[in-house]
Amino acid sequence: MITTQRAYSAAAKIITTADTMLEELMTIKR
């Protein structure tokens, strides 16, 4: 159960980071 929670947290962190990077890229493109 703890492992699943950790994996979920890691995935959420990665998704958030990727989302932020995408936003920055879009801003730079404009």
- What is the rounded distance in angstroms from the CA atom of residue 7 to the CA atom of residue 23? 24
Q: Mean pLDDT over residues 1-24, rounded? A: 95
Q: Which has the closest alpha carbon to 28: 20, 17, 16, 15? A: 20
Share of the chain residues as helix, strand and coil, in percent rounded to the nearest 5: 95, 0, 5
Instruction: Answer yes or no: pTM beyond 0.75.
Output: no
Q: Indicate the domain borders of the chain.
A: 1-29
User: pLDDT confidence of 14, banded at 50, 70, 90?
Assistant: very high
- The type of residue at 20 is T
pLDDT value for 6: 96
pLDDT value for 1: 72
Mean pLDDT of the chain: 94
Q: Has residue 2 got a pLDDT over 90? A: no
